[in-house]
Homo-oligomer: A and B are copies of this chain.
């Protein structure tokens, strides 16, 4: 009997840790979507072309829709979305502060690259979740439908001024570098979350090697996107 109690106590503790990791994940994604929405819209203001403003505003709206879905799931779990987001405000804000676009083209590349990395990340992580949460994360995977527009606009700008290519390629590298740096800070501080993300489960703790492999898959997908913009990464 004592053994059984001990085992069920362990299972309950485990569920609790899993739940904490899930709340962390939803909180981090929710704040990432909310700030992506606001930053994109702010960057759009500087675009000289109304069509670019509209494209970025639409992307921003889709991001807010994702935020709403994630916040609703947190509320379902009985967690105040604000409380769940709070631990990630510093890292996500630092990412944006360190990658403030100097002009609207950098803003456009940031929206495209950020949106793409976000979707790759959702794809990675949804494999390790319960069916219900996996379905939610799959849902927010839907792209914003503006990718073709961004590729066209950036390609046209680079054709008109080929010197832009090098600067924007460097900018793309910086975006992904800063994103990984901030993600690593978070992974170190939120062990259970990181373990959930790489699929080790919270039982096994953080698998740094698997985390590294995930970052390398995300970076490869990023390179493919930069190539679509006509740039080496």
Contacts of A218 in B (CB 8 A): none
Q: Does A82 contact B (CB under 8 A)?
A: yes
Interface flags for A21-53 (1: CB within 8 Å of B; 0: not) read: 000000000010011011111101100001101
Check A53 against B34 for contact (C-beta < 8 Å): yes
- Take A51-B82, A85-B50 as given contacts and tell me if A57 and B45 are in contact as well, using a CB distance cutoff of 8 Å: no
A35 to B57, CA, bound (A): 10
User: Is A169 part of the binding interface, using a Cβ–Cβ cutoff of 8 Å?
Assistant: no
Which of A40, A42, A81 has the most C-beta atoms of chain B within 10 angstroms of its own C-beta? A42
Is A229 among interface residues, defined by CB-CB distance under 8 A?
no
A58–B64 contact, CB under 8 A? yes
- Kindly state whether residue A168 has any CB partner on chain B within 8 Å: no
Q: Once the chains are docked, how many angstroms separate the CA of A44 from the CA of B38?
A: 7
**Across the interface, which residues of B come within 8 angstroms of A45, CB to CB?**
35, 38-39, 42
Chain B residues near A64 (CB-CB < 8 A): 57-58, 60-61
Bound complex: CA A31 to CA B37 (Å):
19
* A136 located at the interface, meaning its Cβ lies under 8 Å from any Cβ of chain B in the complex: no
Please measure, in the bound complex, the distance between the C-alpha atom of A60 and the C-alpha atom of B61, giving whole angstroms. Answer: 8
A134 at the interface (CB under 8 A from B): no
CB-defined interface of A163-189 with B at 8 Å, one 1/0 digit per residue? 000000000000000000000000000
Flag if A42 contacts B38 (CB, 8 Å).
yes
Residue of B nearest to A68 (CB): B58
Q: Report the separation of the CA atoms of residues A60 and B64 in the bound assembly, to the nearest whole angstrom.
A: 10
Q: Please report the C-alpha to C-alpha distance between residue A52 and residue B51 in the assembled complex, in whole angstroms.
A: 28
A117 contacts B by Cβ under 8 Å = no
Question: How far is A184 from B56 in the complex, measured between Cα atoms in Å?
Answer: 30
Q: Which 5 pairs show the lowest CB-CB distances between chains A and B? A: A41-B41, A42-B42, A38-B45, A38-B41, A50-B82
With A38-B53, A60-B64 already in contact, 9 other A-B pairs whose C-beta atoms are closer than 8 Å: A34-B50, A34-B54, A38-B41, A38-B42, A38-B56, A39-B45, A41-B41, A50-B85, A51-B82
A-to-B contact residues, CB < 8 Å = 31, 34-35, 37-42, 44-45, 50-51, 53-54, 56-58, 60-61, 64-65, 67, 71, 81-82, 85-86, 89
